Structure 1
Amino acid sequence: MLTTLLAIMVILLVLGLPMMIPLIVAPLVVIILFFPNIGPAVMVQQMIEGISAYVLLAVPLFIFAADIMSTGKTSKRLLDFVGAFIGHIRGGYAITTAAACTLFGSISGSTQATVVAIGKPMRQRLLSVGYKDSSAIALIINASDVALLIPPSIGMIMYALVTGTSLGELFIAGIGPGILIFLFFAIYSYFYASMKKIPLAEKISWPDRFKITYKALLPLGFPVIIVGGIYSGMFTPTEAAGISVLYALILEVIIYRTITMKQIPRIALSTGLVTAAVFILVAGGQAFSWVISYARVPQMISAAVLGTDPSALYVLFIVAIFFFIGCMFVDPIVVILILTPIFYPPAMAAGVDPVHLGVIITFQAALGSATPPFGVDIFTASAVFNRSYLDVIKGTPPYIVMLLIISVLVIFFEEISLFYRYLL
């Protein structure tokens, strides 16, 4: 049965069909062949149930807010703000890129949106001061990984949907690993610029810094609203998503006037297309998860891979390996929807904290999305920058090594992700 399921998925993928097709067709065929007592209508019921969760309301709202800000001037104001203070130090433009990806990630929740919004302007700045194109692109796609870790992470929303873990806690827990990624990349950028003798940018005067900071104050309100509002208990993650859309509209339409009301329908259509694709994947993932659970596939895999009484640390390393490899080939959302139901039960039995597990899974999803051969951010960068696949991946090895080191640290030291519990 498992062989049939995997064979159908592989064949359909090789034929070039979009991921949503094998995700739905494969379990449907398995039901017809191996479980004739279950009608195909059950698949439809499971798909509807998959997209009925309240937490999913946050997805289109966060995407809409990110689309509004990407169309407007929010990303440029964030870049100018970060660059004003650290652009002149050794490796300043690279550090600015990493910091801007972190800040924009706290607004968009999407690695691909961050690659587009931050990558376009920062690539030109990096090239202008002497960085190789391969190094610039590698930094952009890997620094964008932070967007999947810090709120409002779409990956964490998917994990919360599958497991029922508190989305608010997941959002807060991703901040520690996200900051750690930025620090590693900043240190590496400093020494890289020193070794390559990258010229220093001109230092901006304090009066100009104050002016740039003033312009960036309102965009900096996004992470304050999302993180501060959720952490303080003022509103739920879904309510934070709605408020972020309202805030984005006020900022770009009324205050900055970079977007007109006539543009909103076009932006909303773009959001609708992305949301539709995500929701179809979620619906198919729910049906797929139900079928493999009914067939006791998770129990078979966990027994074969994890053994009878695995330790929490062993489970986390196995989870990290499976999700990392999976996201090297398939969209992170799909991997989270398929693999989480398999590994979540044995992880809970081993005593793993569900929030910590969610951070590990999301981290591996982020890492895999920027890793060859088929990381989704690689192809996004290739399309956005009009560069070949080999040009995009040429400079990625140092960043992948750093992310793997951070991944091990997060696995061993759960305090990195669960720091907020020590603040209460």
Structure 2
Amino acid sequence: MIWLLLGSFVVFLGLRFPIAFALGLSCLLYLVVADIPLIVVPMKMYSGIDVFVLLSIPGFIMAGNLMNQGGLTEKIITFCNRLVGHIRGGLALANIAASMLFAGISGTAISDTASIGSVMIPAMKREGYDAPFACAVTASSSTVGPIIPPSVSMIIAATLTGLSVGKLFLAGAIPGLLLGLSLLGLTYYISRKRKYPVHDRSSLRQIARSFFDTFWALLMTVVILYGIIGGFFTPTEASIVAVIYALLVGLFVYRRLTVKKALVVFLDSMKTSAALMVLIGFANLFGWILIIERLPQAVSAGILDLTGNPYLVLLLINLLLIFVGTFMETIAALLILFPILLNVAMEVGIDPIHFAVVAVLNLMIGLTTPPLGVCLFVAAGIGKTSIGSVARAGFPFLLMSLLVLALVTLFPGLSLWLPELFAD
């Protein structure tokens, strides 16, 4: 019966059904054939979303959208351009730096690509950068977002397994910075080789003025992280604080946000959040079926039969997640696979916090991996170029991301140092 579930799921994906519907329809087909009462559908869907910490996801999505409409994102981009615009390829470097800063609020790669890309990709094209490169830089740098805290993917991983959200946020900080810095280095190398544009150096006064303009946007990240790690509020409460903060700054500090724009943001955020919650609900039902079919035990036994070496187990899991990430959306892949693979990792003594960071980083790379890399499609749409040309331009960035993944996999201290430091 398990093959009916998995086979129908693959078929529906092949027919280009939205992944939430592919999950739901394959589950429904299984339940009908297995003669299981359909009452389990609403029961399992509700139990999947009836988790307090998941309420933070709509909040962070709304905070990111309010930042875009309220002018906070634009301030971040301007500040980064002031800092690095005088370096060869400075606009491309500013693109990545803005993603690293924006990552601390949005928590999702796709929102990063769409918001920063809508500003930076046309600007880079006007400056003389070729469109595929501009799109590739934007898509690749957006994957830093779900690693640097706060991160929607980390919240979901914590929800599925009972891990500490605060510890996962801390664990993602160094790997996220490492990924961002490596992309900056590669971009600088390519920009020098291709002789991309360079701007005049900004004066200290201009940089200082830009910093003070950006101060309120940067302060949001500090407030969120300090509040969660310091125990002043939960991730869910932090997301509401972020919404209120972004709303007040957009309305009264930058004055770019209006009541009409805020209402549009609320509506768009509700649509995005509702779609995500439906996905989580169906994925919980799908996971329940996998459990009653004992697939987690089969996968665990299969991997452990091959090897009990922790590094080889991580290598096998990385290969699996890279493959899955090429055609499955990140959150859906986490919901279905993370609990199963975490059990395998813990069987061989791998720290669950370390494994969570490796899994999330791995699936983020999938967002820029053909054929389904969602961020590639979003960036290509903004840049009005073909997905094939963007994928080719993004290949060096993909290799660099895989190198960072290898380092994070082989050296657990990169993930565990900060959580252990604050635990003491």
Structure 1 length-normalised TM: 0.96
C-alpha contact 1:20 1:284 (8 A) present in aligned 2: yes
Equivalences for residues 74-223 of structure 1 within 5 A: 74-223=72-221
Residue of structure 2 equivalent to 1:345: 343
In structure 2, distance between residues paired with 1:192 and 1:391: 16
Show the counterpart of 1:46: 44
Query: What is the letter of the counterpart of residue 5 of structure 2?
Result: L
For each residue in 1:43-64, what CA deviation from the matched residue of structure 2 results, as whole angstroms up to 9, or x when unmatched?
3211110000011010000001
User: Over residues 380-421 of structure 1, what are the superposed CA-to-partner deviations in whole Å (9 max), with x where a residue is unaligned?
Assistant: 123333322223222011000000100000000111111211
Q: Distance in 1 between matches of 2:192 and 2:263?
A: 47
Post-superposition offset of 1:319: 2.0
| In structure 2, distance between residues paired with 1:215 and 1:125 | 21
The offset of 1:3, in angstroms, is: 1.8
- Give me the whole-angstrom Cα distance separating, in 2, the residues matched to 1:301 and 1:31: 22
Report the residue type matching 1:13 in the other structure.
L
Gap change, CA 1:383 and 1:91, over 3 Å in 2: closer
Residue 3 to residue 405, structure 1, CA distance change in 2 (3 Å): same
Please state how far the C-alpha of 1:366 moved relative to its aligned partner: 0.6
Conservation of the 8 A alpha-carbon contact between 2:131 and 2:383:
no
* C-alpha contact (below 8 Å) 1:151/1:226 kept by paired residues: no
Q: Which position in structure 2 is the counterpart of 1:377?
A: 375
1:320 maps to which of 318, 321, 327: 318
Q: Distance in 2 between matches of 1:215 and 1:6?
A: 52
Q: 1:51 to 1:190 in 2, by over 3 A?
A: same
Aligned residues: 422
Task: Give the partner amino acid of 1:148.
Answer: P
Is the contact between residue 289 and residue 341 of structure 1 (CA under 8 Å) also seen in structure 2? Answer: no
Matching residue of 2:9: 9
Distance 2:16 2:94 in 1: 38
Code of the residue aligned with 1:22 in structure 2: it is A
Distance in structure 1 (CA, Å) of the matches to 2:338 and 2:119? 36
**Whole-angstrom CA distance in 2 between matches of 1:315 and 1:389:** 33
SS at match of 2:143: helix
Q: How far apart are the structure 2 equivalents of 1:178 and 1:76?
A: 22
Any conservation in 1 of the 2:121–2:382 contact (CA below 8 Å)? no
SS at match of 2:371: coil
Superposed structure 1 runs of 4+ greater than 3 Å apart: none
In structure 2, what is the equivalent of residue 253 of structure 1? Answer: 251
Length-normalised TM-score, structure 2: 0.96
Shift of 1:308: 7.0
Of the three residues 54, 57, 71, the one matched with 2:55 is 57
Please, which runs of 5 or more residues in structure 2 have no aligned partner? none
Aligned residue number for residue 329 of structure 1 = 327
Identity %: 32
> Where does residue 242 of structure 1 map in the other structure?
240
5 Å-filtered alignment, 1:262-411, equals 262-307=260-305, 310-411=308-409
Deviates more, 1:135-144 or 1:201-210: 201-210
- Contact 2:60-2:242 within 8 A present in 1 as well: yes
* Structure 1: runs of 5 or more not aligned: none
Cα shift readout 1:79-128 (whole Å, capped 9, x = no counterpart) = 11111121102332222111101111111011111112211222233234
- The range that moved more, 309-318 or 61-70, is 309-318
